[in-house]
């Protein structure tokens, strides 16, 4: 049995950031729920509520939903229309393919003055004679019944013949309730005799055969074949056996499918243990069991690897599990593995995972482990060149340290500077006048040295 819990509603309220107090739309369909509870207290501002295709036998705990406008309870086990008087804003009610046999319970919807659309198609009451006339006359606020608009003339005719139609409806209700009582009694007596489904007598044969696996291997295989044949035979008998259209039969079919699903899950668990994710030499394999489209790119500006996985839009995020490793990524989607090798090594601790609320895609952003470092820094090879240039000097200085130092006495080998030779001596007459140095290399061949011509004198300020 599946219960309505706060965690379940929060997972179904992802479009509202998992907030319950302001939630306006909630979908709880196909979850095998057997009882409505807690919704009117936790989500009092609901406008749309989907509860179709469950195992709900009764309408309850919805009276505090004052803003509820659309309620879908199709494909459940409801037999009576009740407990909806508090839904003041209800405009559309879908009870298609249920087990409503109390057609007179439609009168409880008179308090829902805003109700405009009602669907009772596929219920036992829809086969009653005068069903449509009775509903049209009982609910004057209705505008559409079972997908067909109600005309003004049809409403007038239904109101004129209401007394006669009500009498016939009451008679058919009594007959239906009598049949239902007989069907319930038959189901109770049959429940103790049969143990249908996959856990019948043949399952004991499997258990005994497994116990004798080490002793008699051949007998085990024969018993397994016989058990599989018995399972197929019982499966055919179950679906070919005629049954009444009752809530008990629907529950029996549900339990049968649930047992079959569990047996299939056990087989798949054994197969998953033998699933090969790595090659014989240890290399990572590329696997795409869910057969999803994906896009793997490298963002050179941000030094990241981005994986865009096209996950199904309406899949719950709790069914997705992502595992980022330095060289590969593994994503489990409802038990199916997606694995891909990355083009470069990444940092798993700095990776992020995001889910798009519009497309449902899963976006994994993984920074590179050896990305390009941007910034103003010196070039490494220049530093190495400078270091290599100083290496001989360092070696020479180290070699000098090992040799003992001696005092030089010879004045010719003295390394002190002679300050008297810094300025060249010139005649006092010329003063600050300086003659440019003459060089033989700078004179040309046509130059004639005439002693009568005075030399060129340059003055420096």
Model confidence pLDDT, tens digit, residues 284-322: 899 999 999 999 999 888 899 999 999 988 888 889 999
399-423 mean pLDDT: 57
- Per-residue pLDDT for 205 more than 50? no
pLDDT at 50 over 80: yes
Which pLDDT does position 384 carry in this prediction?
46
Which residue ranges make up each domain of the chain?
A: 2-177, 287-367
Q: What is the pLDDT of residue 265?
A: 77
Say whether pLDDT at 414 is over 70: no
Reply yes or no on whether the pLDDT at 206 is more than 50.
no
Looking at CATH, the fold of the domain delimited by 287-367 is given as: Immunoglobulin-like (2.60.40)
Stretch 317-339: mean pLDDT, rounded?
A: 92
Average pLDDT in the chain: 79
Over pLDDT 70: what percentage of the chain? 72
Q: Is the pLDDT of residue 452 over 50?
A: yes
**Which one has a higher pLDDT value, 282 or 401?**
282
What average pLDDT does this structure show over 378-385? 48
pLDDT band at 424 (very low <50, low <70, confident <90, very high): low
Is 50 exceeded by the pLDDT of residue 44? yes
Query: How confident is residue 263, by pLDDT bands cut at 50, 70 and 90?
Result: confident
CATH class as words, domain 2-177: alpha beta
Asked if pLDDT for residue 369 goes beyond 80, the answer is: yes
| Beta carbons of 79 and 99 less than 8 angstroms apart | yes
Indicate the range of 85-94, 306-315, 428-437 predicted with least confidence. Answer: 428-437
262 vs 225, residue with greater confidence: 262
Q: What confidence category does residue 240 fall into, taking pLDDT thresholds of 50, 70 and 90?
A: confident
- What was the pLDDT predicted at 211? 47
The model carries a pTM of 0.54
Statement: residue 346 has pLDDT above 50: yes
Q: Is the pLDDT of residue 186 over 90?
A: no
The band of 120, judged by pLDDT with boundaries at 50, 70 and 90, is very high
In the prediction, which pLDDT does 425 show? 54
Higher pLDDT, 200 or 238: 238
- Which of 36-45, 119-128, 267-276 is predicted with the least confidence, judged by mean pLDDT? 267-276
**pLDDT top residue among 399 and 159:** 159
Task: Return the pLDDT at 37.
Answer: 93
Higher pLDDT, 41 or 233: 41
pLDDT at 232 over 50: yes
Position 54 scores a pLDDT of 93
Residue 259 has a pLDDT of: 83
Q: Is the pLDDT of residue 84 over 80?
A: yes
| pLDDT bucket at 387, cuts 50 / 70 / 90 | very low
pLDDT of residue 49: 96
């Amino acid at each position: 049995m599946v219960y309505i819990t706060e965690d379940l509603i929060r997972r179904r309220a992802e479009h509202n950031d998992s907030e319950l107090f302001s939630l306006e739309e909630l979908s709880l369909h196909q979850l095998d729920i057997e009882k409505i509870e807690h919704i009117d207290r936790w989500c009092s501002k609901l406008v749309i509520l989907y509860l179709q295709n469950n195992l709900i036998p009764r309408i309850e705990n919805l009276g505090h939903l004052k803003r509820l406008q659309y309620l879908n309870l199709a494909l459940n086990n409801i037999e009576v229309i009740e407990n909806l008087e508090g839904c003041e804003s209800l405009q559309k009610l879908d009870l298609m393919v249920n087990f409503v046999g109390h057609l007179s319970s439609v009168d409880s919807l008179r308090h829902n003055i805003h109700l405009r659309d009602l669907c009772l198609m596929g219920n036992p009451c829809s086969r009653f004679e005068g069903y449509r006339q009775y509903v049209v006359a009982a609910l004057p606020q209705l505008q559409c019944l079972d997908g067909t608009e109600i005309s003004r003339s049809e409403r007038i005719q239904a109101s004129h013949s209401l007394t006669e139609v009500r009498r016939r409806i009451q008679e058919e209700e009594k007959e239906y309730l009598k049949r239902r009582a007989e069907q319930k009694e038959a189901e109770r007596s049959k429940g103790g005799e049969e143990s249908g489904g996959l856990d019948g007598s043949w399952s004991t044969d499997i258990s005994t055969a497994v116990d004798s696996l080490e002793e008699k291997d051949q007998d085990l295989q024969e018993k397994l074949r016989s058990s599989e044949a018995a399972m197929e035979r019982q499966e055919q008998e179950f679906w070919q056996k005629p049954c009444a259209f009752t809530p008990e039969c629907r529950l029996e079919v549900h339990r049968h499918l649930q047992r079959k699903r569990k047996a299939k899950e056990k087989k798949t668990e054994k197969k998953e243990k033998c699933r090969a994710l790595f090659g014989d030499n240890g290399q990572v394999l590329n696997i795409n069991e869910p057969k999803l489209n994906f896009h793997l790119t490298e963002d050179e500006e941000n030094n990241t690897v981005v994986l865009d996985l096209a996950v199904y839009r309406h899949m719950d995020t709790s069914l997705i599990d992502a595992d980022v490793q330095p060289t590969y990524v593994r994503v489990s989607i409802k038990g199916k593995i997606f694995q891909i090798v990355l083009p470069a090594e990444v940092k798993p601790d700095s990776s992020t995972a995001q889910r798009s609320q519009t497309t449902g895609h899963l976006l994994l952003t993984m920074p590179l482990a050896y990305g390009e470092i941007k910034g103003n820094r010196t070039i490494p090879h220049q530093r190495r060149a400078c270091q290599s240039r100083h290496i001989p000097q360092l070696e020479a200085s180290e070699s000098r340290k090992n040799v003992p130092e001696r005092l030089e006495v010879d004045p010719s080998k003295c390394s002190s500077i002679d300050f008297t030779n810094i300025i060249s001596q010139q005649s006092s007459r010329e003063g600050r006048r300086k003659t440019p140095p003459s060089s033989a290399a700078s004179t040309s061949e046509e130059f004639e040295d005439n002693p009568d011509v005075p030399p060129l004198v340059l003055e420096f300020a």
